[in-house]
Structure 1
Amino acid sequence: MARTVAHVLVDSLAQLKVRQVFGVVGDALNPLTDAISRSDDLEWIGCRHEEAAAFAAGAQSQLTGTLGVCMGTVGPGSVHLLNGLYDAAKSHTPVLAIAGQVPLAEMGSDAFQEVDNDLLFRDVAVYRATITDPDQLPVMLENAVRAALARKGVAVLTVPADLGDREVPHDRAPRFALPPSSSRPDDPVLDEAAAVLNAAERVTLLVGAGARHARTDVLEFAERLAAPMVLTLKAKEGFEDDNPYQVGQTGLIGNPAAAKALDDAEVLVLLGTDFPYREWYPSGKKVIQADLAPEHIGRRVPVDVALVGDVGPTVRGLLGRLTGQPGTSHLDRARDRFDKWYRSQLKLTVPDHDQGLLGKARSTLDNRDHLIRPEALARAVDEAAADDAVFTSDTGMATVWLSRFVQMRGTRRLLGSYNLGSMANAMPQALGAQ
């Protein structure tokens, strides 16, 4: 028996191991939400706003590495998805958005609530299409999912209101198989990078989220090079805990020790990071950058050796080419500066800090009402939270306190709008995480 567009969509999402769909109900989505209500595999998570639904789906995708799904109904419902979808796109995580649309016969007539979704999502989506015939669904859905997963981005599939209940005439199960792949640079460019590293006495690593799956290799790399490791905020998760090489963050929320470790280096190695603040990169250094995305190479700082590939295989290729053992003075100085800075910061977290001489002097300027200091609160949250907690932070000073006083120990995870910098993202991301 032929299935409807709505049922093929829902069954296909279940095949992809999607378990929740976040959205706001509306007339154009009625066939889809009805099909979800009849499914044993999918759960509809109703949100108050489509932006929250998109943030939740993006958070879930970032935590699982799989497809997140959200839905918005016709017109304004689709427009409201945009901010959360931009966050997913800039976080490089796969999300499928199903958008409602006016009935087929009304499209192009400036109907009530009509919005051109294919135009609306052009900038944010790696794939966007409007289904105009039920027979298109299997192929369009395959294309949307493959694009989102392969390119780690947003795909938008628009379904007109009168299409969801129509039968798919040539019903077949969509096929989504994407073979796992791994890549590393060719030998000549690895030789070139290794020659630069072998000739240097002071190497500093700038490590980002793209290196998290290669923690063991990256730590061995830092050991062989005796290199301090500056972390991006998104690399706190994965590299902060039990790491004798890390010296915290640089940039707007960074610390002097990390900035000095970058300035003192002869060679700067970027691993899986597209750290966006150009003014925080040191000048006059040899720069090696390893990244899976070729378009990331050199767009923040001029690069001398470009290593296009996965960080893990790339670093393993370099490890076999490193010769000798450099001295540890560069690393030791960086770690000593970081430890001193961090100890000074911890003094701010003591609940009775303002009772001491320096605390009283400071509080006359910045805490005349004797409020609880945010540093103390952040430290209390760190101590109270479980080792498998998921932290989400809004954009602003809350992220600074989290970055300095909440440690990513155990299997803790960290989410925020760290590429888009949106406001009010933490709560809907927490819903997706839960």
Structure 2
Amino acid sequence: MSRTVARVMIDALEELGVRHVFGVVGDALNPLTDAIRASGSVEWVGCRHEEAAAFAAGAQSQLTETLGVCMGTVGPGSVHLLNGLYDAAKSGTPVLAVAGQVPLAEVGTDYFQEVDNDLLFRDVAVFRATVTSAEQMPGLLEIAVRTAIGRRGVAVLTVPGDIGDQELPADRPARLSVAGSANRPDDPVLDEAADALRDGGKVTMLVGRGARGDREDVLALAERLAAPMVLTLKAKEGFEGDNPFQVGQTGLIGNPAAAHAMDGADTLLLLGTDFPYREWYPEGKKVVQVDRVAEHIGRRVPVDVALAADVGPTVRGLLERLERRTDREHLDDAREKFGMWQQGQQRLAAPGHDRGLIGKVRSAFDNRDHLVRPEALAAAVDALAADDAVFTSDTGMATVWLSRFVEMRGSRRLLGSYNLGSMANAMPQAIGAQLLDPDRQVVAFCGDGG
């Protein structure tokens, strides 16, 4: 029994485990939305704007570590996806965007609402293609999905409005399954890295999102090296709670203890991070960097030993080669400074702060209307939120308050536009998160533009 192009596409996404497709309906998407309507488990989530659809799909992708899906109809509808797709691309998370297009016979004639999607999405997508026949669609869909997952990026598949209802034979399904693998460096480069860490004096670790799946091994390495652990914002959710080595964040929203740990080190070990602010990397340090994406290595700071591999197998290889350090002074000093900074932050967040002498003086300059202080509000949210809550934040001060006063303990998750720095992302990301699990608490820190 034959099936339509749209039906084959939705059936394949259903088999892959996709549960939601976010978008705004339009004529060019009618065959696809009708196929979703008839689906047993894929749900269409209508959005007010396609940008929100892309943000929601990207949020689901980040939370599930698999494919998020969004759709935009012909012309302006697909154009509106662009900002949310840039966020997914810069966050390194796989998203499939299905873009509507004018009827196939009209492509290239400057037809009403016609946009060259392959050109439009050239910069943001790791794969982009226009389906020009029904027979072409299953193969292009397979390539699009596997490229998005394999390269952890955005794939854009453009479907002309008159293609979706065309029939395909039953023996031509789209098969989208893809299995990942972990990469380990060769022994000689592991030996070189171990020697650099063993003989490199005081070591500080800068840990990013790419290490989150290997928490216990990374903590074991910090213990072995007696190394303070500086966290990027996106590593908060994996390494902040119950971690005797972490000293918070560096950079624009960081703290003096983390900066001191970086400046006071002889060797920096970068694990799964592409922390972008070059001015916050100290100069004159030996640097060992581990990242599964080879082009990330050395583009922020000169690197002495480069390991283009996954963090987990690499760290386990280093643990086999390193003895436990007995000198803990560097770690203890950084942790003491971090504790003092935390105490100062807690005083700022105290509800009665403005009633004390220092608080009254400060209020005369920055809180003359006696509003609730954002520090106090963020601390209250931290105290009351569930230990498995999902937090999202808009760019700007909303992220600052969350980063400083909300601890990612337990199984809490954190999402934001932390690489693109877009505005108004927190709410659509929260919607995507909530739809994954309606019973899970989701808290959005929305800025004044959100």
SS of alignment partner, residue 167 of structure 2 = coil
**2:377 corresponds to which letter in structure 1?**
L
After superposition, the C-alpha distances for 1:316-341 in whole angstroms (9 at most, x for unaligned) are: 10111113524000000000000000
2:261 aligned with 1:270:
no
TM-score (norm 1): 0.99
Preserved contact between residue 270 and residue 290 of structure 1 (Cα < 8 Å): yes
Shift of 1:146: 0.4
The answer to whether residue 122 in structure 2 is matched with residue 122 in structure 1 is: yes
Query: Structure 2 CA distance, aligned partners of 1:344 and 1:83?
Result: 38
Q: CA deviation at 1:247?
A: 0.1
Query: What is the distance in 2 between the residues matched to 1:43 and 1:175?
Result: 20
Shift of 1:60: 0.2
Secondary structure of the corresponding residue to residue 415 of structure 1 = strand
Q: Equivalents in 2 of 1:200, 1:44: separation in Å? A: 55
TM-score, length-scaled by structure 2: 0.96
**Is contact 1:350-1:376 (8 Å) kept?**
yes
Match of 2:410 in 1: 410
Deviates more, 1:167-176 or 1:367-376: 167-176
Structure 2 residue 329 is the aligned partner of structure 1 residue 332 = no
Aligned letter for 1:377? Answer: L
Deviation for aligned residue 1:170: 6.6
| Contact 1:125-1:154 at 8 Å conserved across structures | yes
CA distance in structure 2 between the aligned counterparts of 1:286 and 1:382, rounded to whole angstroms:
37
- 1:173, distance to aligned residue in structure 2 (A): 1.8
Contact 2:9–2:174 (CA<8 Å) still a contact in 1? no
The residue aligned with 1:42 is 42
What is the distance in 1 between the residues matched to 2:187 and 2:177?
30
Between the aligned partners of 1:54 and 1:88, the Cα distance in structure 2 is 8
What is the DSSP-based 3-state SS (H/G/I as helix, E as strand, rest coil) of the residue aligned with 1:252?
coil
Residue type of the alignment partner of 2:360: K
Q: Residues of 2 paired with 1:21 and 1:254: CA distance? A: 37
Deviation per residue, 1:122-177 (Å, 9 max, x gap): 00001100001000011001000000010000000000011111112474222223
Displacement of 1:41 = 1.3
Q: Aligned partners of 2:35, 2:196: CA distance in 1, in Å?
A: 59
Q: Is 1:398 the equivalent of 2:398?
A: yes
Is 1:4 aligned to residue 4 of structure 2?
Answer: yes
Question: Partner of 1:401: helix, strand, or coil?
Answer: helix
In structure 1, what is the Cα distance between the partners aligned to 2:324 and 2:99? Answer: 58
- Residue 178 (structure 1) shift: 2.0
- Give how far 1:277 is off: 0.3
* Structure 2 alignment gaps of length 5 or more: 435-450
**In 1, Cα distance between the equivalents of 2:349 and 2:177?**
50
- Read off the aligned partner of 1:174 and give its amino acid letter: A
User: What residue ranges of structure 1 are gaps of 5+ in the alignment?
Assistant: none
Structure-2 separation of matches of 1:200 and 1:289: 14
Other-structure match for 2:244: 244
Cα RMSD after superposing both structures: 0.8
Aligned to 1:382: 382
- Say whether residues 1:232 and 2:232 are aligned partners: yes
What is the alpha-carbon distance in structure 1 between the residues aligned to residue 344 and residue 327 of structure 2?
28
Q: How does 1:164-313 map to 2 (within 5 A)?
A: 164-169=164-169, 171-313=171-313
What SS is found at the alignment partner of 1:135?
Answer: helix
Q: Secondary structure at the match of 1:301?
A: coil
Q: Which residue does the alignment assign to 1:32? A: 32
- Could you tell me which amino acid in structure 1 is paired with residue 350 of structure 2? V
Give the Cα separation in 2 of the matches to 1:187 and 1:378. 46
Alignment of 1:153-172 (within 5 A): 153-169=153-169, 171-172=171-172
1:69-88, aligned counterparts within 5 Å? Answer: 69-88=69-88
Task: Verify the 8 A CA contact 1:55 1:88 in the aligned structure 2.
Answer: yes
Q: Is the 8 A contact 2:13 2:176 kept in 1?
A: no
Write out per-residue CA displacement over residues 335-376 of structure 1, whole angstroms, 9 at most, x where no aligned residue. 000000010011011111100000000000100111100000
Secondary structure in 2 matching 1:289: strand
Letter in 1 for 2:259: A
Does the 8 A contact of 2:150 with 2:180 survive in 1? no
Give the structure 1 partner of residue 443 of structure 2: none
Amino acid at match of 2:362: R
Contact 2:74 2:113 in 1 (8 A): yes
Give the SS at the match of 1:197: helix
Distance 2:166 2:67 in 1: 26
